[in-house]
Amino acid sequence: MIFNHIGYYSLVFGFFISLYLLFFSMFLYLKGKLNNQLNLNIYYFSSLQLFLVILSFISLIISFILSDFSNETVYYNSHTTKPLFYKIAGTWGNHEGSLLLWLLVLTLFIFIFILKSNNQPKLYRLLSIFFQQIIITGFFLFLLITSNPFNYLFPIPIEGLGLNPILQDPALVIHPPILYLGYVGSSIIFSSSLAALIENNFSKIWAKHIKNWVFVSWIFLTLGILLGSIWAYYELGWGGFWFWDPVENVSLMPWFSLTALLHTISVLEKRQLLKSWTIILSISTFSLSMSGTFLVRSGILNSVHTFANDPERGVFILTFLFILIFLAVFIFFFFSKNIVNLNEKNFYWLSKDSSIIINNWFMMYFLSVVLIGTIYPIFLEVITSDKISIGPPFFNKLIVPFLIPFLLIMSFGPKLKWIKDRFNKLELDKIFFFVISILISVLIYEKLGQKNLLITILIFASIYLFLISLIELIKSRNNLSQKLSHFGFSLLILSILFNGLFSKEFSSNMKIGDQIEFDNKLIKFKNVESKKGSNYNSIIASFVIEDENKRISKFFPEIRIYNQPNIMTSEADIKTSIFQDKFFVINFLKNENYFNVRYQVKSFMIWIWISTLLIVLGGLIGLVRKIK
């Protein structure tokens, strides 16, 4: 019970510290002394703010560990029989705790920003702190008014309601914190860009400084999306890596914007151009991150990921988001004279600068498609009360045709020179890879027996980008960060494409003793057995798959019935090899002796994960080189 008080009053004091930093940073800015040193009070109170939020977060963790059910958040999201590992993870596996984690990362990042921005002008730093404190103060208010993680329950319950079993997973322990690091990193970019706009601080030093934050945010956001995708693959029993679930989409949208910003900031660093793009993308990235928070926390989205269904919370976030976006747009238009640059028109169509602009337009198109596909069902339900869901066919039809020219431009864009390039003599290796790509795509087209010209061209573009990226990575280690990430992206697209083309699926209702033939293999349902876990009972089924050469594979998919809350989950048995995953999952059929059995052969799954890790590794190399 004491930790409830410590956690709550730490938040209250932290809120007043935020108000102090908010007004004090603006006071110092308006005072405008010429020396470039920040007032020591900024350092002291920022460190105190961080300490108070850490203390509050630790108090919540301890409350979960001790199963203190006088805490409402613990009562609704924990249970005495839950393993310690998941008790700790339950701290951020709920609405209130996840927002406290948001606040923790916000205060940590502004503290790091203050320490690492000593070479930047004082007035710029003060404005960045001011804008960041607006965001932090808003989150303090959100927690204290609508989402207090330390609400007191009396009489104190004997037992808690438990955490949703699908969240009791190792990947879900680290997925939210890493994803939040990506989201919250965009807040620093947002605040810094607005401050740079007002102070006209678009120097090469600033571009290098903010590029580090872009790298940090992009790396963590990419890694967070990867972990969420892996979790959904094996935990939800979908048998795929991406299903265009609304909450998947709201994490993908800021990734598109952040990726475009990462390329744009390179032009700003090299040539002092694309200032408008930099500001707009900085505002867009943070707005999309906050919009995702609004959509998830308000309960508007119908998703397995949704945390809460509370209109009061949704209205608060929506109002707060509207204020931030209105403030940013007003500042952008009011101070737009600071980003006028006559040289911005000096773009030659054949140059690296132009290829980056084209890259940005493609990214904005992909973002728009995902945005429309995500929010259209919401507006339709509000207007007509009709509920619809938009799935893969919509996204595939709108994205695939534009993905082809995007991949082809990626094949030669990075090799172009800055400012202006010209056609050189044709390189024989490029022609060779071009022909090889056509031949491979035609062979795949013939093997599949599908008369789909668009898919064939997409295969060609993917293979060509892969070969060009691979040879560039092998030939030179210059700009290794970019080359490795581009190679990883080419491998990702190719793996996704082959995964869709070559995967197979079997689904049927079976009972013990049944055997069914599928794809020249015999699937036999042997038996089931029961087993007791720490906080669940499980039913483990035994299956044997025998191929035409009499080779046998054994699978043991599982159904778990958790005691608190009383929820049933399906645990897939997955056998991974270098070229394919064999995915086996079962479900109960009510009032019958049958189980629904689903067996999938998922091609190139491991390469989807590996390619994304290569993209992240490229970003890490780029960040390390920037910091040195």
Q: Which residues share a beta bridge with 538?
A: 531, 560
The residue from 347, 377, 412 where one domain ends is 347
Tell me, what's the pLDDT at 308?
47
Nearest to 97 by CA among 74, 120, 125: 74
Residue 492 lies in a domain: no
Domain count, the chain: 2
pLDDT at 611: 96
Output the pLDDT for position 613: 96
Summarised one tens digit per residue, pLDDT across range 162-182 is 777 777 777 777 888 898 899
How far is Cα 587 from Cα 109, in angstroms, rounded to an integer?
44
Q: In the prediction, which pLDDT does 342 show?
A: 44
Looking at residue 261, its pLDDT comes to 95
Q: Tell me the mean pLDDT in the region 17-42.
A: 84
On the question of pLDDT at 305 being above 60, the answer is no
Domain-embedded: residue 614? no
Q: SS3 for 168? A: coil
The string of DSSP letters for 202-260 reads --HHHHHHHHHHHHHHHHHHHHHHHHHHHHHHHHS---SS----HHHHHHHHHHHHHHH
47 Cβ partners below 8 Å, 6+ apart? 111
pLDDT at 510 over 80: yes
C-alpha dihedral sign at 102, 104, 105, 110? positive
Q: What is the CA radius of gyration of the chain?
A: 27
Q: Which of 2-16, 279-293, 308-322 has the lowest mean pLDDT?
A: 308-322
Greater confidence (316 vs 582) lies with 582
315 vs 506, more confident = 506
Cα-based angle 203, 206, 210 (whole degrees, multiple of 5): 145
* Max mean pLDDT range (58-62, 232-236, 333-337, 382-386): 58-62
10 Å Cβ neighbour count for 429? 12
pLDDT reading at 62 higher than 50: yes
The DSSP result for 261-288, as a single string, is: HHHHHHHHHHHS--HHHHHHHHHHHHHH
Quote the tokens at residue 444.
């795949």
Q: Has residue 56 been placed in a domain? A: yes
> Are 91 and 42 a contacting pair, CB within 8 Å?
no
pLDDT (average), residues 361-389 = 85
118 by DSSP, 3-state: which? coil
Query: What whole-number percentage of the chain has pLDDT above 70?
Result: 90
Average pLDDT, rounded, for the chain? 86
pLDDT at 474 over 50: yes
Looking at the domain assignment, is residue 359 inside a domain?
no
What residue numbers bound the domain in which 592 lies? 504-606
Go through 83-112 and write b for each residue having 16 or more CB atoms within 10 A of its CB, e for each that does not. Answer: eeebbbbbbbbbbbbbbbbbbbbbbbbbbe
Distance (Å, whole) CA 56 – CA 378 = 35
- pLDDT tens for residues 406-417? 999 998 877 777
- What local confidence, expressed as pLDDT, does residue 423 receive? 59
Q: Does residue 170 lie in a domain region?
A: yes
Give this prediction's pTM: 0.91
Instruction: Tell me how far apart the alpha carbons of residues 139 and 107 are, in angstroms, rounded to a whole number.
Output: 11
Identify the domain boundary among 282, 315, 347. Answer: 347
CB 234 within 8 A of CB 606: no
Whether 165 is covered by a domain: the verdict is yes
Q: Which of 133, 265, 121 is nearest to 201 (CA)?
A: 121
Residue 514 counted as domain residue:
yes
Is 78 part of a structural domain of the chain? Answer: yes
Our CA angle for 397, 402, 405, nearest 5°, is 145
Q: What is the mean pLDDT of residues 436-456?
A: 80
Least confident of 75-89, 137-151, 595-609: 75-89
Q: What is the pLDDT of residue 304?
A: 46
Q: Which of 291, 320, 347 is the last residue of a domain?
A: 347
> Within 13 Å, how many C-alpha atoms sit on residue 73's CB side?
37
Whether 428 shows a pLDDT value over 70: the answer reads no
Report residue 118: phi and psi, to 5°.
Answer: -65, -25
Cβ atoms 139, 148 nearer than 8 A: no
Q: What is the mean pLDDT of residues 106-134?
A: 93
Q: Which residue in this structure is represented by tokens 């789909």?
A: 452
* Residue 306 pLDDT: 46
Confidence at residue 147, expressed as pLDDT on a 0 to 100 scale:
87
Residue 166's pLDDT is what? 74
